[in-house]
Structure 1
Amino acid sequence: MSDKSAIEWTDSTWNPVTGCTQVSPGCDHCYALTFAERFRGVPNHPYEQGFDLKLHPNRLELPLKWKKPRMIFVNSMSDLFHKDIPDEYIHSVFQTMVKADWHIFQVLTKRSARLARLGPQLPWAPNIWAGVSVEQDFYRWRIDHLRQVPATVRFVSAEPLLGPLDNLNLEGIHWLISGGESGYGHRPCDPDWVRSLRDQCSNTGVAFFHKQWGGRNPKSGGRLLDGRTWDEMPTPRMLVTS
C-alpha cells in the first residue's frame, strides 16, 4: 500500500489483501505479480509469501488514519472479489469505507460475477465506486454484471487494452479508463482502439480518462492522445443524468 500513488487516476492505494491468481489475458503480465515475486522468501518482507493470497486484518482501519480526503484505489495488489476471500472479510473492508466517508474508494475487479452476486448485500455508500476490468471484447459481459451493482459511480478499466472494444453498451456507466500495457513482453495498444473508446464516451456522456500508452515502463509511451491528455472524472451532472 502507499500513502501516495503514481497511478494517474487515484491518490493512494490501500491493500487489506495482497496476492491473486490469473483469470484472463489482462493478467498475463501482471505488474503486481512481478513486483511481489521479487521478494518471495525474503524474511519479514511484506511480500515474503510472494503473490500468494494473504489477508491483512491489521490494515483494515488504515484509511481512517488518513485525515485529508483522497481517492483510494482498493487492492492495487489483489482483487477484493477473489473467490478465496471470505464474504465476512469483504464486509469488513466495506465497513471501513463507509466509516471513512471523507475519502472516495475505487474498487476494481475482474471477478464481476461475484461482484454482482454480493452487490445487494454490501453498503454502497456514495463514496464507494465500483469498477470492472475489460481488456478484450470477449469480456464485455463484465459490464453487464457491473450494471447490477447499486454504486453511485460505476466505471470500466480498459487496461491493459488488448484489442478493440467497439459499440460498448455504456448505459449506467459513468467513467472509462483506457491504457496500454507496460513491462516485460508488453503487448502494443493501437491508437484507434483508444480513439474509439474516447468517441463512445463522448457520444454517451461518460467521462474518459486515458492513463498511458505503456511500454517498457508505464511512462515510456507518455499519455497524449491526439495532442492532449484526457483526464475526465465523473461529475455530479453525469451522475444525475445516468
Structure 2
Amino acid sequence: MAQKSDIEWTDATWNPVTGCTKVGPGCDNCYAERFAERWRGIPGHPYEQGFDLKLWPPRLRQPALWKKPRMIFVNSMSDLFHKEIDRAYIDQVFDAMEDADWHVYQVLTKRSSLMRNYIRKRYDGGPVPRHIWLGVSVEDSAHISRIEHLKQINSEARFISFEPLLGAIGEVDLRGIAWAIVGGESGPRARAMEEGWARQLREICARDDVAFFFKQWGGPRPKSGGRLLDGEEWNGFPWQIVPKPILDQLSA
C-alpha cells in the first residue's frame, strides 16, 4: 500500500518505480538514493537492489484500493520519466491514475522534455486530467529550461519544486504555473540556501499569481533550519485547481 508521507506538501507516496540515476547538481546528495542504499544486499527487502532502477507492476493497483481521497506524490523514490522506463509501463501508471480519479496525483520530474513529449502523445495535445498534476524540479538558473518544457504541456495543474535550491533562479516568468515549492537541501552534506534566493522566488510568485510554499531551510535534517521565511510560514496551495468532487471530499 502507498505510504503516509512526512513531506509537507502531500499526503502519501506511491512508488510503482524505484531507483534512478543522476541528471544534475540537484541529484548530488539525493535523499532517496541515500535511503535505498542502506538496504542494498539485504535479501527480501524492497531495496535489496539499492537504488538501481526497478519496476513494481504489483503496485499499479494500489491507488484503486485506497478509497479515501489523498494527495499522492508519485514516485518519491524515482523519476517516472527516466529514459530506461518503457513507454508502455508509463502508460500503465497513467491508466492507474485515470482509473482511480478520486485522488490528486503529483508527478515530479527532472526529465522535463521527456515528460512533455509523452504527455503530448498521450493526450494528443488535449488537456491533462485535472487530478493529475505535473511538475518539474529546478535547482538553479542553469536548469530553467525545465520550466519552459512544463509550460508547453496543456494543463492547469503545473507546479515547480525549487528544492534543493542551490542558487539564485534569477528573473523568470512563472505565469501559467499554479504552485511553487521552495526548500533547502537536507542531509549530511547539505548545501546552504541563501535567503535572497527564496525571497526572490516569493516576489516572483506574488507578481505572477503563483501559490508559494516554503518547505524548509534544510540542514543536517529536514527540520534543522525550520520553515520560517522572514518570520512567517508560507503555506500557499493552489486550491483552485483541485477538482471540485475531490475538494469536497478532502474538506469533509
Which TM-score band (shorter chain)? over 0.9
The alpha carbon displacement at 1:92 in A equals 0.5
1:63 partner amino acid: P
1:42 partner amino acid: I
Contact 1:212/1:218, CA 8 A, preserved across alignment: yes
The alpha carbon displacement at 1:8 in A equals 0.2
The CA distance in 2 between the partners of 1:103 and 1:230, in whole Å, is 24
The CA distance in 2 between the partners of 1:210 and 1:201, in whole Å, is 12
* Structure 2, unaligned runs of 5 or more: 244-252
| Alignment partner, residue 100 of structure 1 | 100
| Alignment partner, residue 24 of structure 1 | 24
* Offset from partner CA, 1:35-78 (integer Å, 9 cap, x none): 00000000000000000000000000101111111100000000
2:22 partner amino acid: Q
> What SS is found at the alignment partner of 2:3?
coil
Contact 1:94/1:122, CA 8 A, preserved across alignment: no
The CA distance in 2 between the partners of 1:229 and 1:170, in whole Å, is 21
1:160 aligns with 2:187: no
The CA distance in 1 between the partners of 2:172 and 2:211, in whole Å, is 14
Contact 1:119/1:148, CA 8 A, preserved across alignment: no
Match of 1:132 among 127, 130, 136: 136
> What SS is found at the alignment partner of 1:117?
helix
TM-score, normalised relative to structure 2:
0.92
| Alignment partner, residue 154 of structure 2 | 150
The CA distance in 2 between the partners of 1:237 and 1:138, in whole Å, is 29
Contact 1:15/1:77, CA 8 A, preserved across alignment: yes
Identity within the alignment, %: 58
Q: CA RMSD in A?
A: 1.4
The total of aligned residue pairs comes to: 239
| Alignment partner, residue 40 of structure 1 | 40
The alpha carbon displacement at 1:236 in A equals 2.0
Contact 1:174/1:238, CA 8 A, preserved across alignment: no
| Alignment partner, residue 7 of structure 2 | 7
- Provide runs of 4+ in structure 1 moved above 4 Å: none
The CA distance in 1 between the partners of 2:175 and 2:33, in whole Å, is 33
The alpha carbon displacement at 1:237 in A equals 7.7
* Structure 1, unaligned runs of 5 or more: none
The alpha carbon displacement at 1:116 in A equals 1.2
User: Which range is displaced more, 41-50 or 123-132?
Assistant: 123-132
| Alignment partner, residue 120 of structure 2 | 120
| Alignment partner, residue 219 of structure 2 | 215
1:172 aligns with 2:176: yes
1:46 partner amino acid: P
TM-score, normalised relative to structure 1:
0.96
The alpha carbon displacement at 1:99 in A equals 1.0
| Alignment partner, residue 248 of structure 2 | none
Cα–Cα, structure 1 residues 60 and 2, in superposed 2: closer, same or farther, change >3 Å? closer
